[in-house]
Amino acid sequence: MTLITPEPDGGLVSRVRAVDGVVDVYGSPLQQISGILAAATGRSGERQADIAVSMRDGIPRVAARIATNAEYDTPETARRVADVLAEHSPEDATITVQIARIH
């Protein structure tokens, strides 16, 4: 399977947001700071891809930071998100799901 480069307006991000218990998908802290700086200077505050896709030592890495709904089991929600990411990534990819917030 080929690596899919997620786009903020659809694709993989939309699939992750559709997982029961997911409230939002966040970009990396660096992307968030970049967005804040862009807004402060009047530049476009366009969101970048909320799911990070990279290569490290020849191994693909896919990472997502999510917010979950407290009414759902957070570890189970994270497992379902990891399953979605794994389904759309190469078999040898490292999948990381970070819980950034629980609402």
Ordered structural domains, the chain, with CATH: 12-102 (3.30.70.1350)
Say what the pLDDT of residue 44 is: 54
How many CB atoms sit inside 10 A of residue 47's CB? 16
pLDDT digits (tens, 9 = 90+) for 74-85: 999 999 999 999
Predicted pLDDT of residue 3: 45
How does DSSP assign 35-85, residue by residue?
HHHHHHTTS------SEEEEEETTEEEEEEEEEE-TTS-HHHHHHHHHHHH
Rounded to the nearest integer, the mean pLDDT of the chain is 81
Interatomic CA distance for residues 94 and 80, integer angstroms: 15
Q: Is 61 left (phi over 0), alpha (psi -120 to 50) or beta?
A: beta
Taken in order 8, 66, 84, 14, the sign of the CA dihedral is negative
Q: Coil, helix or strand for 10?
A: strand
Q: What is the pLDDT of residues 32-53, one digit of tens each?
A: 555 545 556 666 544 445 888 8
